[in-house]
Every structure is written in C-alpha cells, then in structure tokens.
A and B are shown apart, each in its own frame.
Chain A
C-alpha cells in the first residue's frame, strides 16, 4: 500500500509538472504581449520595454521558467500582471467558491442520478425507464450556457424566487448548481442504470435472493456496493468536467470562482495568473482521482495495493 501511495504521488507530481510546463510554454506561444496590453494606445516602445522589464517578460524563456519553478516550493506563484496582487492570494480567495459550487453540484447530480438510474434499472423497459432515458437524452442535448440563462429568466426574472447572479447565500446556489447538475446528470444516470442492471443479474445477487434475504437488503448491500464502482470512477472523471464547466456557469451567474479568474487572465495574457489557476486546477483534479482510487479499493475487495 505504501509503495502504491508513493508511486501514485510521484505520478501525480509528474502530471502536475507536465501540465504547468505545457501551460507555461503555451501561453507564451499564443500571440499577445502582456506589456502592450497593460499600456494605453500610443505608449512609446521605450515604455513598453520598461514594462516588460518590470513584469519579467523580457527575460529569456528558460530564465522565466526557472524563476517560476523556483517559486513553486515556497508556494510563490508570482504576482498578477494586473494590479500586482499575489496570484496565490487571489486563487485562495476564489478557489473555495468554485470547489463549493462543484461539490454541491456533484452531490446533487450523484444523488439524483442514483435515484433515477436505480429506479429505471429496477423497472427496466417500463414507462419509468423510458421516461428516465428520455430525460437523459434531453439533458444531454441541452447546452449549459442556454440552460443557465433559461433558468435565470424563469426563476429569477419572471418568478423572482431566486437571485439571478452573485454568490450571496444558500438560495444563490440553486440555479448554478441546477445548471451544472443537469449537465452532469446524463452520463451518471446511464452509468448507474447500466451497472445496476448488470449487478441485478449477477450470481451473487441471485444467490442472495435464493437464500431468502429481504429484497431491500439485497439491493442496498449486494447490488449497490457492486453497482456503485463505476459511479465512483465516473465521479472522479466528472470532477475535471465540473472545473472546466465552471468557467461558463460562473460567467452566467457572476460567481466569484476560479473559472472567471482564469478566463480573464487568458484575455489579459496575465501569465502568472494563468499558470497559477491551471496549476491549482491540475492539483485538484489529480487529487480527486487519487482519492477515487483509494475509495475504489475500499469498495472492491478484489483490489489490493
């Protein structure tokens, strides 16, 4: 187990290192000079060059890369080109909002998917099953930017039940969570449904029923545990989607999260901020999948590290 943990940690570090290195190079290959964007039209080239010196983009690429890597062990992600605030400080302020939104959305989506998927699996080919599959098809073909706007127009503008924008209280979570959850739902429902159908036909389930174990115990203990394995894997993968999807959802709902921070940083060619946000997203994503691996092992006794 210890060896596995060490190996997985090393892999995680390698992935994160690869991601930040790729990001570091890519942002500098994309057209757009941050120094010129920071200065108004008509600024003389001497001033632009001075700004490049101030923000360090005049240095050779390998020197900039070395500076960046040297700061990482100290948690120094550099300073934003815009406003000069430490990148780590800004990310620390914005990241919890994204994580909270993502966790709530994942929890809601997983719970709903379990209910719908299990219900559909238990009544396979019935009206309930078909209705569930229809809903899944609708959700799958609904873009989240459209859904978010529609939810706002109905529940915030017309009915005035919920706020349209901002992170202001528990009620402000409803619409962004619903938008994210609907996007996550189709794959989760299909997975739950299919894995339940498979598990219901397993020998050990038939044996449990033959032994006269009550149906609810069969479902909760013998089916659920096996059927939930793919779901756990999927939740890990969906974490990446949630972090990516948050850019759109945060923009629609003016949610002060890391998605909007990253988007603005890209537009401004704010290299330290782009590198910082991508680094943090990469760490979160690999950590979630690391945890998923551990949970998987706990759920499936066949897996031993």
Chain B
C-alpha cells in the first residue's frame, strides 16, 4: 500500500467514524472527503441503505471512466417527453438524465430529500414555497431557475392547455416565481402527495416547454448526471455530463439496452459482456450466487400483482361475496413462496406492502376452501360456477403462466369454472377493454411511486377505464385522501380506504413483485429502489 493510499484510508476512517457517531452529516462527510481528495474511494465506504448496493449520494471525483452496459427487460416503447407516458422503463432511464426538485433517494418514501430544491415549506393548505439550487445547468447549456421549476410543475400537473398523462396523478398546480431561485406553488385543492409527486416529476426547461410537445418527445434535455448521445430503437447510450452540479458521474459511458430474454441477459453478464442486468428471475439466482464477481440485489417492488376483476361486468360486479370467495380460494402464500420467489411477498392490503400508509389487513384471506364454498353459495352459486375466463400473460410478469394455472386449480377445487387463456400483453389488454367478454378475471399488476394516491386513483376511482370501477363511496374516500395534507389525516383516510377495499375485494391482491438486479462486483454505489428505479449516479466501476 503506498503512502497516499494510507493517508486516504486514515482520513476516511476518521470521517466514517464521525459519520457513524453523528459528528458529521452525510453531506458534510461528502464535502470533507472531497476536500481531502479521497472521494474516489467513497462508494465502497459509505454503508448501504436498504435495497441499495452502495452509497446514495457521493460527489463525483476525478474524470469519469469506464463503460457500463445495463441490459433491461422492457423495451423502450415510449417517447422522451417526461409527462407524455407512464412507461416504467422510460421513467427509469429518465432518472439518469433528469433531476427532480425533491428526491426519494432511499427506500423510505416518507422522507423526501433535497435535490434541485434545497428547502421547502408549506405556507397553507394549498401553497408551497421552494428554494432552489444555484448553478445548475441543463445539458443544453441553459441555467436552471425558478422559471423552469414553474414550467415543469404546471405542465406535469395539467395546469396548462397541454394534455399530459401525468395529470392523472396530480391536481392542477400553478407556479409563481418569487425570485430567480424561489418558486411558490399553489395546488387547485389541498393535495397530500405534493412532495412525493415532485420526487417523480422530472425537471424540464421552460424554454423547451415553450417549444411545444414534439421537440420534447424527440430528445431529452435534463440537468441529470448523464446525457443521451446515441438514441437507437433498443439501445440508449449516455455519457457523463461533465457540468453536473453534484460533480461529474464516475462512469463515463452508460448504455441501457433492451434484451427481452432473461437467459440472454444472464449469459451476457456471466460472459462479461454486460455489467448489470435487471429482472433476474429466481431460477437464475443460484447461477449468480455461485460467482464471486457478481452481486445480486433483490427488493420487494412497489407493485401489487392482482387477480384483477372487471368491476362493471357480470358475474363479479355488485357481488362482493363472490369476490371474497375468490380470495379465500387462492393459496397466495404458496404462489408467493413456491412460484414467484425472490423478494416477493404476499400482499397484505390493496396497497403495496411498502407504500406509504400501507397497513396489513384482516382477515388474511389464507386458503380456506370451505369458507370459499360457503361464500359462493351465499353469492348465488351453490351448485357450482361461475364460469369465466381467467386471463394470464406471457412475456410480462415472471412465471405468469404457472401462477395463472395454479390459481385456476385452486378455483376449480371450490367449484368455480375458470377457463384459462394465456396470451401476450396486447391480447390481454384487448380483452380487458372488450365489452363482449363478461366476467373476465386477469392476472395483472400495477406499480406506483410509494404514495397511495397514484394506484388508488388509477385503479379504483370512477370511471376506472382499466377496471370498470364505479363506487361513489370509494371515490369520496380516494379524493379525501388526496386532499389530506397532514400525515395524521392521511393515515386515517388510507386506513379506512384499505379496510373498505379489503371488505369489498374489487381485486384480489396476490403478491408484491420481486425486483432483482445482478451486477459485477466492480460496480459500486448502484442504487436499486422498490419503485424499480436504478440510479447509476454516483456509482463507479473499479
């Protein structure tokens, strides 16, 4: 070991001790480390938080080096406009290119951290004031100011004339520029998820917004650590943005590439042709655990996989006992443990287990065929039935075919008459919307950002395009949840919402998805969160 290295080690030891004992904040720790010029070793030194493989925020040190190839399981089917799609893969890649005003940097979504907003305060039930970071530049060279923050939130929240997909998760919110680095937002009505919505709202330039939708769809211009240099159908190449305000990334070139087949992704990682792969199925865990040079990171996703029932079609509409019978018929524990595996967990509520305000519900709806038969009889199917199509997917949810068939077996044992149809996503979506397929039940999932409002509003609020939801009491509950801005109020509302859903069982929540990423050990500092985000800043490749 040379003397420079020894000096670095000693400084890091002192700083790390101070960090652990509370003598330094994380930010002070990073600044001190950078001051002493030992930032290069930080990624390996900062203790990881849950669901992460390294440090959540490290100032870049030295010139970016190395190439990281990340093979992903979902195709890049959406456009670059951050607010004109809800594609999970697109949101994930945007996290490398754009910044947010507020960041959810760990798995604890109740504690948003500063990003482009350095601080914030709520002035009244409708108004929030944010102080912004100085010296931030967009990839295109524009300086970030309050005008950009205003334009971003107004566009994303649906407060402008432009129709955006993200509006469904917001209430219209207008901005007022107080000064160059201070912005005040006013929501149309009290909006509890305001801060959490900011954590998933990519900041765009006001100048870009003024140019219109098409240029923003064509190419991204963020303030994030990486900028896109090659944009191909299945391959996006990004390079380190040297002007990044938190310090240049330590990875020089980051490539995200779509490869659908999980075995092909695994082979590439094992052969050294990729550094990171996602959506590793549990059957591949053993092969990866045997390799000393690879790391496997599993998190329980913020995604409920449901037995999804169209609530506007017979025989399940207006028949909660029949839906409860479904829930008592299915061995959810066995599905989770024996078929899905990994970090998946049996669903405890209609909210993902790790979502904010999620609370385990009672009864647990464990497998109870006798109870299911009794409920079936009460629901009007004493002599067997009902007959319905149970749809399962291929190429979407892991082991979906096996799970769907296992569910069908469970249901047949209590006298229900499901007909299993396994098809691709395109056909299943068609079936979901077709009006001539009554009583259809689907094995499908829904993911969110950690706030209950997103999934509740989309799935259960009238008119539920995807579910046929039409329950005015539930609508009121969901709306009051969105309007509650104090945590205590939100806890109370969402407790009531979950209990109501559990009693009425509009869907049968089965399990929370496993989300597993594998990467080379030489890559440190990669953050993997339950909302499926994978942050490559400040990761480094040794």
Chain A residues lying within 8 Å of B233, measured Cβ to Cβ, are: 82-83, 85, 90
Chain A residues lying within 8 Å of B267, measured Cβ to Cβ, are: 149, 152-153, 156-157, 164-165, 252
Roughly how many angstroms separate A163 CA and B267 CA in the complex, as a whole number? 10
Roughly how many angstroms separate A149 CA and B267 CA in the complex, as a whole number? 8
The answer to whether A43 has its CB under 8 Å from any CB of chain B is yes
CB-defined interface of B163-197 with A at 8 Å, one 1/0 digit per residue? 10100100000000000000000000000000000
The answer to whether A124 has its CB under 8 Å from any CB of chain B is no
Q: How far does the Cβ of B132 sit from chain A's closest Cβ, in whole Å? A: 29
| Contact A253 B426, CB 8 Å, known A40-B165, A41-B466, A82-B77 | no
CB-defined interface of A239-256 with B at 8 Å, one 1/0 digit per residue? 000000000000111100
The answer to whether B24 has its CB under 8 Å from any CB of chain A is no
Roughly how many angstroms separate A90 CA and B268 CA in the complex, as a whole number? 25
Contact of A40 among B87, B423, B431, B434 (CB under 8 A): B87
Q: How far does the Cβ of A51 sit from chain B's closest Cβ, in whole Å? A: 12
CB pair A269–B168 under 8 Å, yes or no, is: no
Binds A, one of B152-160, B270-278, B485-493, B523-531: B270-278
Q: How far does the Cβ of A128 sit from chain B's closest Cβ, in whole Å? A: 35
Closest to B424 in A: A267
The answer to whether A166 has its CB under 8 Å from any CB of chain B is yes
Binds B, one of A25-33, A131-139, A287-295: A25-33
Closest to B466 in A: A41
Roughly how many angstroms separate A252 CA and B259 CA in the complex, as a whole number? 9
Roughly how many angstroms separate A264 CA and B434 CA in the complex, as a whole number? 24
The secondary structure that dominates the B interface is: loop
CB pair B268–A165 under 8 Å, yes or no, is: yes
Chain B residues lying within 8 Å of A166, measured Cβ to Cβ, are: 273
Chain A residues lying within 8 Å of B466, measured Cβ to Cβ, are: 41-42
The answer to whether B534 has its CB under 8 Å from any CB of chain A is no
The answer to whether A44 has its CB under 8 Å from any CB of chain B is yes
Roughly how many angstroms separate A33 CA and B86 CA in the complex, as a whole number? 18
CB pair B427–A32 under 8 Å, yes or no, is: yes
The answer to whether A76 has its CB under 8 Å from any CB of chain B is no
Chain B residues lying within 8 Å of A30, measured Cβ to Cβ, are: 427
Q: How far does the Cβ of A276 sit from chain B's closest Cβ, in whole Å? A: 14
Roughly how many angstroms separate A41 CA and B268 CA in the complex, as a whole number? 32
Chain B residues lying within 8 Å of A209, measured Cβ to Cβ, are: none
CB pair A31–B427 under 8 Å, yes or no, is: yes
CB pair B87–A36 under 8 Å, yes or no, is: no
Closest to B163 in A: A47
CB pair A33–B168 under 8 Å, yes or no, is: no
For window 57-78 of chain B, which residues contact chain A by CB distance below 8 Å?
Answer: 75, 77-78
Roughly how many angstroms separate A40 CA and B447 CA in the complex, as a whole number? 13
The answer to whether A8 has its CB under 8 Å from any CB of chain B is no
Chain A residues lying within 8 Å of B272, measured Cβ to Cβ, are: 160
Residues of B within 8 A of A (CB): 75, 77-78, 85-87, 163, 165, 168, 233, 259-261, 263-264, 267-268, 270-273, 395, 423-427, 429-431, 433-434, 458, 465-466
Residues of A within 8 A of B (CB): 30-34, 36-38, 40-45, 47, 82-83, 85, 90, 149, 152-153, 156-157, 160, 163-166, 251-254, 264, 267-269
* 19 more A-B residue pairs beyond the given contacts A43-B165, A149-B263, A152-B267, with a C-beta to C-beta distance below 8 A: A31-B423, A31-B427, A31-B430, A31-B431, A31-B434, A32-B426, A32-B429, A33-B426, A42-B86, A42-B466, A90-B233, A153-B270, A156-B271, A163-B271, A164-B267, A251-B261, A254-B259, A254-B264, A268-B426
